[in-house]
Chain A
């Protein structure tokens, strides 16, 4: 009976939207933390279904977007070395480094850059081409980190010695804590990431509930998943009883996935990490454990990691913090478009600027459309 009720309440989107509208008593601000959520919200037109009093902000959950220019420069430096193949997830190759050059540009000038779907594909490439060194640009969050760890464990098992990674992996909890601590960012509820939560478990958000009285709901990526998550948040906010609601039980448990975390901890240790727009955040990244440093691409190839400036005029940093919406950036739709992106938020499928541009109908900046790059 209860199962049946839950079934009915979640089986369609229209009743969910109606219920959200009925439940809403005052304006609420909700941040979706996951890039896949951002994209799904835009693609399914969820914003247009919701009452205007709900403000949805995109958070720092797109792995390509939060990778700082210094790391892009390091990937570029590796790609330009002789007999090195740089392997990467697709979106990353169009992100400009600090001097405007992207991996795609480097490739068109002869560097070997290969797009892979999984780090295991990069390892397979290393096995096929023993005369080359294959370097994997290791970006991602807690969902991707165990796949990278599993790949390195496999590389060691198979004795592959021409495979390296440049570790730029990040972890969510410290970054979320820092964001919520910002008095300028008013957020009432957090739509928590689906697959990251599958690994770290829904209980990880409890400190945010206690510290900031923040409503949290873990949601999947289908429209009804997202709407269910939003409805849960609105009910929690209005009842004044914030908690952690797991609306994605087909993938997420309270404890998370211990096997995945075991792999991660076997290979990586936490370290301070620089996030684009957010700066250096203590214990928010993963670096290779001593036992796995023979896979460290920076060390092996002698590539320095430099702090660099973000592209002039790009507001990605404030967009990743939920302080601005993409059309608030003066470059949006003018000198920055998906075809000629200035910042990573316009490159990645999961970036807020790209999603806004493709799906929202706003093709021009609110700040006038003819501005070019600021100094």
Chain B
């Protein structure tokens, strides 16, 4: 339902309970910013880190290094595909 492009966390709003109400993170990337919930993420991110999102929920936190590695992979991929005239489709996330 959602393609797995990591988004950067720009703000973390903590909730009342680490386990049951961990709050939300504000993420930004590609000109969009949105709120994602943190209930099911493997580790609560800090500002600057990246998260992979599924249906409005963060599911995995990546350190900046991990994300940078992955983002550059995807960027290069997009460039190569563009040269070949086969642009990858836009992200499915709305």
Contact = CB atoms under 8 A, between A and B. Distances in A.
Interface string A194-235: 110011000000000000000000001111100000000000
Contacts of B2: 36, 195
Contacts of A258: 42
B57 A251 contact: no
Given A13-B80, A150-B37, A222-B77, A250 B3 contact: no
Interface string B36-47: 010111100000
Contacts of A262: 19
A251 B4 contact: yes
Given A11-B76, A195-B54, A195-B59, A150 B40 contact: yes
Contacts, number: 119
Contact of A259 (B21, B40, B73): B40
Interface residues of A, number: 45
Contact of B20 (A40, A146, A157, A253): A157
Interface in B1-15: 1-4, 6
A250 B62 contact: yes
B3 to A, nearest CB: 5
Given A144-B55, A154-B21, A194 B4 contact: yes
Contacts of B20: 153-154, 157
Nearest to A39: B92
Interface centre among A45, A153, A350, by most B CB within 10 Å?
Answer: A153
Contacts of B54: 143-144, 147, 195, 198
A37 to B, nearest CB: 11
A10 interface: yes
Contacts of B66: 250
Interface centre among B4, B40, B67, by most A CB within 10 Å?
Answer: B40
B13 to A, nearest CB: 15
Interface residues of B, number: 37
Contacts of B74: 222, 224
B10 to A, nearest CB: 20
Contacts of B31: none
A43 interface: yes
Contacts of B21: 154, 157
Contact of A251 (B1, B19, B60, B80): B60
Interface centre among A10, A224, A248, by most B CB within 10 Å?
Answer: A224
A14 B4 contact: no
A263 interface: yes
Given A157-B20, A258-B42, A263-B40, A118 B57 contact: yes
B20 to A, nearest CB: 5
Contacts of B67: 250
B43 to A, nearest CB: 8
B42 A147 contact: no
B90 to A, nearest CB: 10
Contacts of B84: 14
A268 to B, nearest CB: 13
Contacts of A117: 55-56, 94
Interface string A19-46: 0000000000000000010001001110
Contact of B55 (A45, A118, A263): A118
A165 to B, nearest CB: 15
Contacts of B88: 44, 222-223
Interface of A: 3, 7, 10-14, 36, 40, 43-45, 89, 117-118, 120-121, 143-144, 146-147, 150, 153-154, 157, 194-195, 198-199, 220-224, 248, 250-251, 253, 257-260, 262-263, 350
The 8 closest A-B pairs by CB, nearest first: A118-B56, A150-B39, A260-B40, A146-B40, A12-B80, A11-B76, A250-B70, A257-B42
Given A147-B56, A150-B57, 11 more contacts: A7-B73, A118-B56, A147-B55, A153-B39, A157-B20, A195-B59, A199-B40, A222-B3, A250-B67, A253-B42, A260-B42
23 contacts: A3-B69, A7-B73, A11-B73, A36-B92, A45-B86, A89-B1, A120-B37, A143-B55, A146-B39, A147-B37, A150-B40, A153-B20, A154-B21, A157-B21, A195-B59, A198-B59, A250-B4, A250-B6, A250-B60, A250-B67, A250-B70, A251-B4, A258-B42
